[in-house]
A = this chain, B = another copy of it.
Amino acid sequence: MPFADRLNNVETSAIRELFKLLGKPGIISFAGGFPDSAMFDVEGIKEAVNAALAQDPGAALQYGATEGYNPLREQLAAFMAGKGVKDLAPEGLIVTTGSQQALDLIGKTLIGPGDKVIVEAPTFLATIQCFRLYGADVISAPIDANGVQTDVLEKLIAEHKPKFVYLIPTFGNPSGTLLGLERRKKVLELAIKYQTLIVEDDPYGDLYFNEAPPPSILALSSQVPGSRDWLAHCGTMSKVLSPGLRVGWMVAPPELLAKATMCKQFSDAHTSTFAQATAAQYLKAGRMPATLAHVRKVYAERAQAMGNALRKDLGDAIEFVQPQGGLFVWARLTGAGGKVKDGNELARRAIEKGVAFVPGAPFYANNPDLSTLRLSFATADVAKIEEGIGRLGQAI
């Protein structure tokens, strides 16, 4: 069967091959990118879905508008207002089937074969593949401990004139990095100066451990007149409430939002109204602040435990910045004392010792740094984290 040419631009993820090994009994996994199921507010979600089915079953079970279920759009606008986005009307966002679909709709509406797109190096693997499937030529902008290097980013924008720049500025996957306040403003200025769309993906911004991170680029846009015309923002319920709902959303300038809605009509008609009505009832019930406080506390303890264990058991063999939020430690093998310096090699040895993580190379669109690795602290408790990092120490 002759498939479309666009499939030649992507490959099945190398990570998937690794995941097949995770079934080994007794393995401790830091490889996942998902939240801990044990922390889902099952009781709250149960109340929410029963309220939705009691109050307006017709709406929860019938076809709905492609733009999203209005009571949810209202709740999401209020949720965003609580995070400093003061001027967002419910009509200013559409509901998407997870934020993955928001990325897909951005690709579908904007990317033609050969179009340039700039992403961070490293960035979310599924984003790279998603954009390449529409024919994007993906360019990488380097990051440091304060996120994307905006001076280099400006040169790349000027040189490549990309369709858009995709950033995960807050505790990004996989880097865990936090883009500084001044750089956030600089990004908005670049958007205007070069009339280039910025796509801010923000799945992790709510998962901070101590002080809150700087406002999102979307929240800051009110301070940079005109920047909102060049800004899209993707949010999701997946990391704080439940990935299984597949409820995300996208804020974008009206014309882009209209085109994305048209494309969504032919992608899946609309996001599950059953899930949307449940999410709307959940937010309306006011349970989110307590849920957030709980997950922040647990992930903070686990992040601290993993950092401590890495310093204790791996010493100078790796270097990393202690994360202030999100789900991941991003580390680099130093090769000190002749120890292993290749993330893929260490991943193989680690599996033998009964611990798994994801090597960092696939997170680079170009020129992978083979010495990197991503460790998730989200799904193992403190004792398992200490045991697992101990095994990693043996593997190294």
Contact = CB atoms under 8 A, between A and B. Distances in A.
Interface of A: 1-7, 10, 12, 34, 37-38, 40, 42, 45-46, 49-50, 53, 57-64, 97-98, 100-101, 103-104, 108-112, 115, 126, 129-130, 133-134, 163, 197, 238, 242-246, 253, 255-256, 259, 262-263, 265-275, 277-278
Given A110-B4, A112-B6, A197-B1, A268 B101 contact: yes
Contacts of A62: 34, 37, 40, 242-244
18 contacts: A1-B110, A1-B255, A34-B62, A37-B57, A45-B53, A62-B242, A63-B238, A97-B246, A103-B266, A104-B266, A104-B267, A104-B268, A126-B269, A129-B265, A133-B263, A244-B273, A244-B277, A245-B274
B98 A268 contact: yes
Given A4-B111, A101-B267, 19 more contacts: A1-B110, A3-B110, A4-B108, A4-B109, A6-B112, A38-B58, A40-B62, A45-B53, A61-B243, A64-B244, A100-B267, A100-B269, A104-B267, A126-B265, A133-B263, A246-B268, A267-B267, A268-B268, A272-B274
Contacts of A267: 100-101, 104, 267
A263 B59 CA distance: 30
Contacts of A270: 246
Contacts of A271: 97, 246
Given A7-B259, A268-B246, A269-B126, A58 B37 contact: yes
Nearest to A60: B244
Given A34-B63, A37-B61, A61-B42, A244 B263 contact: no
Those 8 A-B pairs whose CB atoms lie nearest each other, nearest first: A37-B58, A244-B273, A130-B266, A61-B242, A97-B268, A61-B244, A246-B272, A42-B57
A227 to B, nearest CB: 14
A129 B45 CA distance: 36
Given A3-B110, A63-B34, A259-B7, A245 B266 contact: no
Contacts of A245: 61, 272, 274
Centre residue among A1, A37, A265, A271 by max chain B CB count within 10 A: A1
Contacts of A272: 97, 244-246, 272, 274-275
A267 B101 CA distance: 5
Residue of A6, A12, A267 with highest tally of chain B CB at under 10 A: A267
Contacts of A104: 266-268
B259 A3 contact: yes
> DSSP majority for the A interface?
helix
Contacts of A53: 42, 45-46, 49
Q: How many copies of this chain does one complex carry?
A: 2
Contacts of A50: 46, 50
Contacts of A45: 53, 61
Contacts of A265: 126, 129
B12 A262 contact: yes
A244 B6 CA distance: 31
B1 A256 contact: yes
* Residue among A4, A129, A130 with max Cβ neighbours from chain B (10 Å): A4
A325 to B, nearest CB: 20
Contacts of A197: 1
A278 B197 CA distance: 39
Contacts of A64: 244
Nearest to A97: B268
A42 to B, nearest CB: 4
A63 B243 contact: yes
A4 B112 contact: yes
